[in-house]
Amino acid sequence: MMRPVLEDIEGATIVEFALVVPMFLLLLLGIMDVGQMVYGKSVLTGAVHRAARLSSLETRDIGEADASVLDAVRPVLPGVKITSSRTSYYDFNDVGRPEKWNDKNGNSRCDNNETYTDENRNGQWDTDVGRNGNEGSANDVVVYRVEAEFQPVFKVPFMPALWSKRKLTATAVTKNQPFGVQTDLGSTAGSCP
């Protein structure tokens, strides 16, 4: 009596289908989610590079450049919000370097009344000599960074932690056109607390 039940294979396809389809759909959603992020990163990077180039011209319009990035990524990343920042430097060698200071105690920080040169003219010693929020002047090097925050279109089920907002970033470095006289670095001395 038991033997015919074990040999009966009718309905096995339905059971196999019921086991395989959820895993296949989960894999498919995961692939589409990753695909959206990769494509969104590519579009964002291209838009940031175009906007940075437009921002380096004498006729630049920073608001228009930021709007062009948003217009480019909106079809790929619905509901996207972008945040942009610009940091200007005198030269490529200055990107990311601290202001010059006399590090007497060798701790790589400006402290204990060590003297520094206020190269970016903001009245304090900075770990980055760049001027934030500044599109720079003629011949300045500008680092343009955009962060895009969005809700994923293809949410993977059973993973609520991954349903939250995602962030993509893109950075472009350009040198402004020589449309005028470049402002020199500051030379005012100061001392750190």
| pLDDT at position 46 | 97
Q: How many domains does the chain have?
A: 1
Whether 1 is in a domain gets the answer: no
Domain region containing 173: 10-191
Whether 4 is in a domain gets the answer: no
pLDDT band of 156, cuts 50, 70, 90 = low
What b/e string do you get for 48-66 counting C-beta neighbours within 10 Å, with b at 16 or more? bbebbebbbeeebeeeebb
Whether 178 is in a domain gets the answer: yes
Whether 139 is in a domain gets the answer: yes
Q: pLDDT tens digits, residue range 117-150?
A: 888 888 888 888 888 877 788 889 999 999 999 9
- Is the pLDDT at 162 greater than 80? The verdict is no
Whether 117 is in a domain gets the answer: yes
